[in-house]
């Protein structure tokens, strides 16, 4: 009976020591890692793509949720009307160039008449002055025509640029999140035609205790790991710090991928762990 009690006592003591050891280990584990890692979820920006020209939508080259790269073709707009206007502008310039030649001919003839009148001793001064004024007039007409042609050529270049811009391309890597146009419909200049979500950079907001706010400063860089890419390294820069209430503060991080490294797609909702001292 005595041995049985002693056995139970030892068993009880063993259990107590085991529980105490586990509790102590957990305490030191939490103590060691508290403030070292914070988990959160990333989110990405969405940018609007505006039409750089008005016109008829001939072809929408992408679909919603499609991944696109910088420079990928998004939409083709009809160029027929602009090409017609460009052809008309070219013909007009040719006509104005012929007029320029004619004005040059008038200028040269007025110059010859002025020189002849100035050399002729039988011509009075009043007639010489008249010929000089005629020469000035013809020179001015020629100069005005030159300026007119320069303006027309500037318009010609503008038409050529607008025709080139009839194809709209993606300005960055991203995912098509929304399409606001349809084929065979008209759009105006600066219409919001697409929305694209960035994939190569992202953000993460973390809520921290006010007492820990001093561990973060504007433009500080921290290491961050994204669960979906365990072999990739990312940098998180502090871009904003603001209080939430008297107990907590919000720290906003911008996540950048390493330079000279193959870029991966960052998608809203991916889990990430931030490391800090």
Identify which has the larger pLDDT, 52 or 197. 197
pLDDT band at 168 (very low <50, low <70, confident <90, very high): confident
CA 248 centroid distance within chain: 34
Phi, psi at 129, each rounded to 5°: -60, -40
Mean of pLDDT values over 131-159: 88
**Are both 50 and 160 inside the same structural domain?**
no
**Mean pLDDT in the chain?**
80
Q: Please give the pLDDT value at position 209.
A: 84
**Are both 74 and 170 inside the same structural domain?**
yes
Would you say 240 and 252 are in contact if contact means Cβ atoms under 8 Å apart? yes
Say which residues have a Cβ less than 8 Å from residue 268's Cβ, sequence separation at least 6. 41, 42, 43, 44, 197, 202
**Are both 143 and 180 inside the same structural domain?**
no
Residue 22 domain-assigned (yes or no): no
Q: Characterize the bridge pairing of strands 167-169 and 55-60.
A: unpaired
Residue 59 domain-assigned (yes or no): yes
- Cα radius of gyration (the chain): 39
Identify which has the larger pLDDT, 213 or 18. 213
Residue 114 domain-assigned (yes or no): yes
**Are both 87 and 137 inside the same structural domain?**
yes
Residue 256 domain-assigned (yes or no): no
- The pair of three-digit structure tokens given for residue 61, joined into one six-digit string: 């080259």
DSSP letter for each residue of 60-86 = E---TT-EE-TT-EEEEE--HHHHHHH
Mean of pLDDT values over 40-49: 86
Lowest-confidence region among 30-39, 165-174, 188-197, 218-227 = 30-39
Expressed as residue numbers, the domain containing 53 is: 46-78+166-197
Q: How do residues 241-277 score in pLDDT, each as one tens digit? A: 888 888 888 889 888 876 656 777 787 888 888 876 6
In terms of Cβ atoms closer than 10 Å to its own Cβ (0-12, 13-18, 19+), residue 274 is: buried
CATH number at residue 55: 2.40.50.100
Residue 252 domain-assigned (yes or no): no
**Are both 54 and 99 inside the same structural domain?**
no
Domains: count for the chain: 2
| Domain C-terminal end among 176, 197, 218 | 197
76-85 long-range contacts, CB within 8 A, separation 24+: 76/166, 76/167, 76/168, 77/51, 77/53, 77/166, 77/167, 77/168, 77/187, 78/166, 79/55, 79/163, 79/166, 81/55, 82/53, 82/55, 82/159, 82/162, 82/163, 82/166, 83/163, 85/159
**Are both 132 and 155 inside the same structural domain?**
yes
Residue 132 has pLDDT above 80, yes or no: yes
Residue 113 has pLDDT above 60, yes or no: yes
Mean of pLDDT values over 87-94: 87
**Are both 92 and 154 inside the same structural domain?**
yes
**Are both 84 and 154 inside the same structural domain?**
yes
| Domain C-terminal end among 144, 179, 197 | 197
Mean of pLDDT values over 127-132: 84
Distance CA(130)–CA(154), nearest Å, equals: 37
**Are both 139 and 87 inside the same structural domain?**
yes
Residue 103 domain-assigned (yes or no): yes
Residue 233 domain-assigned (yes or no): no
Residue 4 domain-assigned (yes or no): no
**Are both 67 and 93 inside the same structural domain?**
no
Q: Please give the pLDDT value at position 8.
A: 54
Identify which has the larger pLDDT, 260 or 131. 131
**Are both 95 and 124 inside the same structural domain?**
yes
- What share of the chain in percent tops pLDDT 90? 12
**Are both 71 and 134 inside the same structural domain?**
no
Q: Please give the pLDDT value at position 258.
A: 67
Distance CA(229)–CA(42), nearest Å, equals: 13
Highest mean pLDDT among 101-105, 128-132, 218-222, 259-263: 101-105
Identify which has the larger pLDDT, 148 or 232. 148
Q: How do residues 172-187 score in pLDDT, each as one tens digit? A: 888 898 999 888 888 8
Distance CA(157)–CA(257), nearest Å, equals: 40
């Amino acid at each position: 009976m005595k041995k049985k009690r002693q056995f139970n006592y030892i068993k009880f003591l063993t259990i107590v020591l085991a529980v105490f050891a586990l509790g102590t280990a957990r305490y030191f584990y939490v103590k060691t890692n508290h403030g070292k890692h914070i988990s959160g979820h990333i989110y990405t920006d969405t940018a609007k793509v505006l039409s750089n020209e008005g016109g008829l939508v001939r072809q929408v080259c992408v679909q919603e949720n499609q991944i696109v790269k910088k420079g990928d073709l998004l939409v083709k707009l009809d160029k027929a009307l602009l090409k017609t206007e460009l052809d008309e502008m070219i013909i007009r310039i040719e006509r104005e160039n012929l007029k320029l030649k004619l004005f040059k001919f008038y200028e040269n003839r007025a110059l010859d008449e002025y020189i002849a009148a100035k050399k002729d001793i039988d011509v009075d001064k009043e007639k010489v002055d008249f010929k000089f004024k005629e020469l000035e007039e013809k020179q001015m007409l020629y100069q005005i025509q030159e300026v007119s042609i320069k303006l027309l050529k500037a318009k010609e270049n503008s038409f050529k640029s607008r025709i080139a811009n009839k194809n709209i391309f993606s300005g960055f890597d991203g995912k098509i999140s929304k399409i606001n146009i349809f084929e065979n419909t008209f759009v105006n200049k600066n219409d919001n035609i697409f929305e694209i979500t960035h994939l190569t950079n992202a953000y993460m907001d973390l809520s921290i205790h006010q007492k820990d706010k001093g561990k973060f400063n504007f433009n500080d860089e921290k290491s961050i790991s994204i669960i979906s890419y365990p072999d990739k390294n990312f940098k998180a820069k502090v871009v904003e710090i603001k209080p939430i209430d008297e107990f907590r503060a919000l720290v906003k991080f911008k996540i950048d991928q390493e330079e000279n490294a193959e870029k991966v797609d960052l998608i809203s909702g991916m889990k990430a762990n931030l490391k800090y001292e």
